[in-house]
């Protein structure tokens, strides 16, 4: 059985993961409007992944005999800027999510909740990958500077991302 503290924290994380999905969908719409289908696809795949993360937390609460409480999700922005600016925002967002996962892990340690700690190991590893992927694209976009042909090449490259990548 989950403690009230851990249950509340995981319900909050479900909201955070669903907001991440909303944010990435908004970014995908931004890229579609800018005629950058590769970046649009990358962020759309990312939105789906974030929804899957929320469902992992959702299922975990249910598996532990807890109660899922879906909280209100904030509206994401509509405009985001250049591809570089968007991916810088993505990197910062992923760092924020990493911090949230770490705080949740610290709460599980404090509560002596070993099953939650074990479950969170997957998310800790996932966040290393998320930050690495965003950082790589930021680096490439910085190297491209304002060279439109280079940005279009990166757009085509990231557009090859498949679900689960």
Concatenated DSSP letters for 10-46?
HHHHHHHHHHHHHHHHHHHHHHHHTT-HHHHHHHHHH
Task: Give pLDDT, residue 157.
Answer: 84
Task: Give pLDDT, residue 96.
Answer: 98
Q: What is the pLDDT of residues 112-152, one digit of tens each?
A: 999 999 999 999 999 999 999 999 999 999 888 777 788 88
Q: Where are the alpha helices (DSSP H) in 34-147?
A: 37-63, 83-111, 114-144
Separation CA 153–CA 46 (nearest Å): 20
- Asked if 14 and 66 touch (Cβ cutoff 8 Å), the reply is no
Task: Give pLDDT, residue 38.
Answer: 94
Task: Give pLDDT, residue 151.
Answer: 83
Task: Give pLDDT, residue 155.
Answer: 80
Give residue limits of the domains in the chain: 4-158
CA distances from residue 96 to 2, 114, 148 in whole angstroms, order as listed: 25, 24, 30
Separation CA 82–CA 51 (nearest Å): 25
Task: Give pLDDT, residue 61.
Answer: 98
Task: Give pLDDT, residue 159.
Answer: 87
Task: Give pLDDT, residue 161.
Answer: 76
Separation CA 20–CA 137 (nearest Å): 18
Separation CA 26–CA 43 (nearest Å): 9
- Asked if 120 and 105 touch (Cβ cutoff 8 Å), the reply is yes
Q: What is the CATH code for 4-158?
A: 1.20.1260.10
Q: What residues in the chain have per-residue pLDDT under 50?
A: none
H/E run at residue 148: helix 148-158
H/E run at residue 4: helix 4-33
Task: Give pLDDT, residue 165.
Answer: 66
């Amino acid at each position: 059985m989950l403690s009230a503290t851990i249950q509340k924290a995981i319900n909050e994380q479900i909201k955070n993961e669903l907001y991440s999905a909303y944010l990435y969908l908004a970014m995908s719409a931004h890229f579609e409007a800018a005629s950058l289908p590769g970046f649009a696809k990358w962020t759309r795949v990312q939105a789906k992944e974030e929804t899957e993360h929320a469902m992992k937390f959702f299922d975990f609460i249910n598996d532990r005999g807890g109660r899922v409480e879906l909280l209100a999700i904030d509206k994401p922005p509509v405009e985001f800027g250049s591809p570089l600016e968007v991916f810088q925002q993505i990197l910062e967002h992923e760092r924020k999510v990493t911090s949230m996962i770490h705080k949740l892990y610290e709460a599980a340690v404090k509560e002596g909740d070993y099953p939650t700690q074990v479950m969170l190991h997957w998310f800790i590893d996932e966040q290393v990958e998320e930050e690495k992927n965003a950082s790589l694209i930021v680096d490439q976009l910085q190297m491209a500077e304002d060279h439109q042909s280079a940005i279009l090449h990166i757009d085509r490259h990231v557009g090859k991302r498949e679900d689960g990548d």
